[in-house]
Each structure stands twice: as structure tokens, then as C-alpha cells.
A and B are shown apart, each in its own frame.
Chain A
């Protein structure tokens, strides 16, 4: 098993009811594995599913990116700076 740190922002944070949490996942897990678990644990996130992008250790990542122990997986709803 590996442990990864999930980080939630803005509407995702509100829907999940937390700023973040730790997930224990199988060794062969990918970003998609972590995402699926987040949607399972927090059904309120599901309406946001299509809008969410993922940053793996602060870089935008695709769903098939493999995860390692200690990775940071951030769920990013649509952004607007300035």
C-alpha cells in the first residue's frame, strides 16, 4: 500500500467538507484511482467530476499518471485569478 495526500480547493473543498485527507491505496494506483476514491468517499463531489483537473505534486497530471508514496494529489475546480 502507498499513502497519498489529497488536497481540495474552493468548491471541491466545500463539497468534500475538508481541505484534504490521506488515502491508502494499492501500489499500482494512478491519479484515477485516487479520484475514484475521492468520489466514493464524498458523493457530493460527483457533480463537479467533469470540471475537476488534477495536479500531481503541483503539476497538472493525466488520469493514468502512476502514484507513489507521499504524492500530493490536488483536485482543482475551474480557476479564475486576477
Chain B
């Protein structure tokens, strides 16, 4: 997909939330990415190392949690994983199905370090 704009978006969202939380540094980012989203982890990490440089997120670690694809049968409400062979419902063979999981593409949370008292003193000086 478009790893550079995606990475820029991740940086923008994380900096915005970090600022609101009064962060000194972002240490970790937790991304939730469904297997239906065609994103290359390595490529995001590569761009991250370049664009997060000189921000409070420089050097932060990206954690990717992959979500397997699950479908929901609209006829019998069976929820089942996709094995890659067939998409039809294993219980009633219906093809009236919708994606129940696997299309996530979210930044779930970040770990930050905040200014402690000694830092606050430094800032006030």
C-alpha cells in the first residue's frame, strides 16, 4: 500500500496525542493491522526511522499486532476464520457473508515518558 503517507499519518496522530498528554518522549507505538490491510511492517519501520528523526518519537519501537480474517455468515450467524481455500460458511455453505474481523487499521495506543519534577524545574529555568 502506501507506507510513506501511512507512516506520516501514524506520526501525526501519535505526536498529537503525546502533546495532549504532556509527553517528553514517545517510546512505543502499538498498531493493530488486519490481514486484509496490505501493509508491509518492515517498510513502515524503515520510513519511521527517517521521518520520526528529530521529533519526540525518534527511536520509538513500533509493535504490529496482526488480526486474522474472520467472516460472519448473514444466514446462520456463524463466525469463522478464513482458511484461504473457501469463503463460504462452513456450517450452512452460504456465501452471504461479511467481514467480521481482519480489516482493522488503527493506532491503538502509545507509551510515553512524561516530564518528572526535575525535568519541570529544568524547563522552568
- Bound pair: A and B? no
Q: Chain B residues in contact with chain A, CB under 8 A? A: none
